[in-house]
Amino acid sequence: MTAPVEPPCRWWHSALGYLTVVAVTVGLLVAGMHLHRADFSSPFAYDSDALLILPMAKAVVERGSHWRNERLGAPGIQELHDFPVVDHLHFAGIWLIGQFTPNAVVAFNLYYLLTFPLTAVVTMAVFRRFGISVLLAGAAGLLYAFQPYHYLRGEVHYFLSAYYVLPLAMMVALWTCLGTLPFFPTASDGSRRFRLRDRRGWAAVVIALLTASAGAYYAFFSCAVLAAAGVYGWAAVGTWRAAAAAGLVIAAVAVGGVANHLPTFAYHAKYGDNTRPTTRLTEEAELYGMKLAQLVLPVAGHNWQPLNRLRAEYDSRDARPCQNENEFSPLGLIGTVGLIGLLVSVFLPGRRPGVLRAVAGLTLFSVLLGTMGGVGSLYAQLVSPQVRCFNRVSIVIAFFALFTVAWVLNRWVGRRPRVGLAVAVLLIGVGLWDQLNNQWFRPTGYAQAMEATAEKYRTDRAFFEEVEERLADVPDAEAAVFTFPYVQYPEATPVEGVAAYDHVRGYLHTRRLRWSFGAMAHREWDNVLRVVSDQPPPRMLARLIRLGFRGLLLDRRGLPPARCAAFEEELRRALGGGERVCHPDGRLVFYDLRSYAAAVIGSSGREAFDRAAAAERERVSVLWLKGFFCYQPVGKENHGRLARKAAQIVFVNPTDTPRVVRIRFMLATLSDEPTAVTFAGDIWSEEFPVVADGRAVVVERSLTVPPGHHRVNVRARPPAGFYTPDSRRLFLVFNDFEMTDGG
């Protein structure tokens, strides 16, 4: 069984088809989003996860890499190794555009828009490889590029919108199903032997490496579909080499994934493995699972009012469970017809072409993988919960559904170009009318929303430029601003009215100021900022000055009104009034701390202040990085922590000489039976018997901590009958931890 090849076609005919698809795509974007009126120096989205990726894009354009950013995480440096974003293919695209424009936001917007024609053209090229005509391949490519999944996620789910590599990976999966096996070509005598010098095999490897650099989710879904294709090909072609070919491509994706994560591996080997920012729970695989109903129902805000009402009734959040980003997954009418046809064909008898059998099999697997309580949930429970948003496999299903429609229509149209043209035009017209909701092509739709976003961005820019001007005479080492209230980075729950990444706006609009926001969760400086933010204003200000901060940015939305008023009154009293800059909307207030800092330094003397500042920065710290979970509020985490049966504590001495510290805490377990708890590391090795009557063991020790990072592994063996329904599998209890200098 062999895959069809691209049908013969004059080169200019094919080139004209691709150019037409690009032109139509650009035309739709310009007309639908009114790009001729858009301000490209302002992002199209300026909230939620767009504020997670925008700083990375800015860092890539300005310094060539997103891994480290000296202007975030003050007084330290933001390092993203604990929260690796390994979409290096997309970062390379942003960097390349940034070579032609110094404005990172312009590069950010252009790359997002570029994903539409890239998706259309790549999809069209893949469909052509399976015998589909230029007209129908181009029409299906356009529908795939303008899936609701794409424009509804937009710049908020920036890298998920860039799925243009996915069709190439699905092409390799279909090769495997149809017997065109990478590295196992069919010889003239019908035999299949491994052949290293196989062009199709190396093309598959290149695609695998691109897939590994284009998003972890798409890499995972590609590997899952390839595994299914390997099993299908083994059964359909009758040789284990199909599974071997799929395995080789999966291995190439894995190698590419490891290569993309090398900075993280090196960092963790030196500084300890911080699992806190990327901890996922098994139940999240169902919370963010896919619903079949959301695939086949119309898009929210459909152009035809009856269908719009139908979707609105289904999306009722008060009564409908698990409504989240899975709302972005409708396939549209054309895709729904393809999906239903594929699923029905699985159960109906009769002969079907090999291509459709393969596509139906892979589609059924994808549906089972993404559906709530399906294969994805089993994977999270039995293998790893790190992949949680299985609803995102809907874009894989969309590819197979549109492929089916185009392939069937191509067989019906045959070599009748006029009929093919009419069908392609009808497909594009009906499909786009159905997929693009009622916000397109209206001045009051996305264009108005983008203008409102641009106005908000420009207002913020003026405010933060004034803040930076106020601190223009401050040395770079002290040009740092503390953001209040404290918000954990990354993936924090909102703090009152402050969303997870709102504090990053100051960095986006300034050129030299450093900002406290962005310190990696539970690393050294993050722990300091947590404690400082919880202290009363007089003590907080004194510590901020010693830490090098000369400004404080208050977001009033982060505190209840009464508490915010009391906090500001106490802050002004401590500052003796103090200069401040207010945002036009009244939500942001910048307090200038320079006069206060000068008074503090003057009252204590420069030498005494420098000693106090050095002591502040040179504290020995304890990091609860791996296996720990806290149930106390910000700043009070030491009062109570829970841990799995295996966890890791890291002691950090930032100085060049050994330091002696004394620690004290209460150690217990969640079991009713006696348990031994072992601490093992280069600075502390000991075993404690923990009694079973619920009383905690008081642990007091004096430790000598050499310079650098020192790990202490904590291990316990729960009794055979111990069980906890918590998916985190908690067992150990650490309460009231204290650490002081001295022996």
Among 201, 200, 181, 203, which residue's Cα sits nearest to residue 192?
181
SS3 209: helix
The confidence score (pLDDT) of residue 1 equals 46
Task: Kindly state the percentage of the chain with pLDDT values over 70.
Answer: 97
Tell me the C-alpha distance between 332 and 138, whole Å: 17
The angle subtended at Cα 258 by Cα 253 and Cα 263, nearest 5°, is 145
What are residue 403's phi and psi, to 5 degrees? -60, -45
Per-residue model confidence as pLDDT tens digits over 681-700 = 999 999 988 876 667 889 99
Per-residue model confidence as pLDDT tens digits over 320-350 = 888 899 999 999 999 999 999 999 988 877 6
**Residue ranges, CATH 2.60.120, the chain:** 621-741
Question: In the structure, what pLDDT confidence band is assigned to residue 489 with cuts at 50, 70 and 90?
Answer: very high
Burial of 1 (0-12, 13-18, 19+ CB in 10 A): middle
Task: Kindly state the percentage of the chain with pLDDT values over 90.
Answer: 76
Per-residue model confidence as pLDDT tens digits over 371-428 = 999 999 999 999 999 999 999 999 999 999 999 999 999 988 877 888 889 999 999 9
Tell me the C-alpha distance between 58 and 45, whole Å: 15
Per-residue model confidence as pLDDT tens digits over 275-317 = 888 888 899 999 999 999 999 999 999 999 999 999 998 987 6
Identify the CATH class of 621-741.
mainly beta
The confidence score (pLDDT) of residue 7 equals 60
Whole-prediction pTM value? 0.93
Question: In the structure, what pLDDT confidence band is assigned to residue 720 with cuts at 50, 70 and 90?
Answer: confident
- What is the layout of strands, in order, in the sheet containing 549-555? 514-515, 480-484, 549-555, 588-592, 580-582
Q: Flag whether pLDDT at 436 surpasses 60.
A: yes
Q: Flag whether pLDDT at 79 surpasses 90.
A: yes
